[in-house]
């Protein structure tokens, strides 16, 4: 987080996209912990906003071991929208790291055909 940022506003944006997440703030960062239920709104929003292909490419590019690392636009997140900036933004981005099973990308953003998921899978069997 930047010194001029309000941790409360960043936390609020995270709670909008990941409700039920347990947040812990330090001076440098906000960490969240939660299971599949904390990702369910994010999962739904990716479909509602019809950005599965973009999300999939961002997630695959940001895969590091058992984690997905990506950035979110703070302003969009505060109103419940998902926006993946191409790089660090002038006012700063929210840096997200989600740890989970290998199939996490396929659950969050499955392959599509004509914008529709080819196959939806359940995450519950893999956590």
Instruction: Supply the CATH number for residue 57's domain.
Output: 3.30.1440.10
Q: What one-character DSSP code corresponds to residue 108?
A: H
Residue 43, token pair as written in the block: 């999962």
**Cβ(110)–Cβ(118) under 8 Å?**
yes
**What's the domain range around 61?**
7-109
* 125 part of a folded domain: no
Which of 34, 2, 8, 30 has the alpha carbon at shortest distance from 21? 34
Largest CA distance in the chain: 44
Q: What's the pLDDT score for residue 7?
A: 80
Q: What's the pLDDT score for residue 102?
A: 87
The H-or-E segment that residue 74 falls in is: helix 74-78
Q: What's the pLDDT score for residue 1?
A: 46
Q: What is the mean pLDDT of residues 24-39?
A: 88
- Overall domain count for the chain: 1
């Amino acid at each position: 987080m930047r010194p001029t940022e309000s941790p409360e506003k960043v936390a609020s944006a995270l709670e909008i996209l990941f409700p039920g997440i347990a947040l812990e703030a330090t001076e440098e960062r906000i960490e969240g912990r939660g299971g599949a239920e904390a990702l369910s709104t994010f999962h739904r929003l990716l479909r509602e906003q019809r950005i599965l292909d973009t999300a999939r490419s961002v997630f695959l590019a940001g895969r590091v071991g058992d984690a997905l690392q990506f950035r979110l636009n703070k302003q969009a997140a505060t109103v419940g929208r998902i926006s993946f900036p191409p790089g660090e933004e002038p006012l700063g981005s929210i840096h997200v790291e989600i740890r989970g099973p290998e199939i996490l990308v396929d659950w969050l953003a499955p392959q599509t055909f004509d914008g529709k998921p080819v196959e939806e899978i359940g995450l519950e069997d893999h956590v």
